[in-house]
Amino acid sequence: MEWGSKMDMLLQMQEQGQEPPALRDKPKLLDRLQWYFECFYELTGDRGYTQGYPLGLSTRQIYDYWSIFGLYNFDDFYSKIKLIDQIWLQKTREKSDKESKAKQTPKGSAPPRLQSG
């Protein structure tokens, strides 16, 4: 899920004869699941945000997408999209929290000293 923004650069490196470890070691997604990820990425553009954090996709958003495209088996579609969304939200929050902590700790600075009494 973190490959999107870096994929173009990695593919350019590959075209130039380099094999980036990130591409070589990239997890392979089963063909039958690829379609769900494509739907998820289309849906995620309609996502809401609050206080800088993304909100989960709503049942209405997923249902509307499902019905507009005339897809079959809503329960299956919904469960897979919600699972992908939950994982995406967790990874996004972890990345954001990590970046926030990195900004709060100046590089090269020593930890604060404890002062005794």
Reduced DSSP (H G I as helix, E B as strand, rest coil) percent helix, strand, coil of the chain, to 5: 60, 5, 35
Q: Residue 89 has what pLDDT? A: 93
Q: Residue 110 has what pLDDT? A: 57
Q: Residue 83 has what pLDDT? A: 95
Q: Residue 1 has what pLDDT? A: 45
Instruction: Give which of 84, 74, 79, 76 is closest to 38, Cα–Cα.
Output: 84
Domain parsing of the chain, residue ranges: 29-92
pLDDT one digit per residue (tens) for the chain, 117 residues: 455 557 678 778 888 888 878 777 777 778 888 899 899 999 998 899 998 789 999 999 999 999 999 888 999 999 999 999 999 999 888 888 887 777 776 666 655 566 665
- Report d(CA 16, CA 10) in Å as an integer: 10
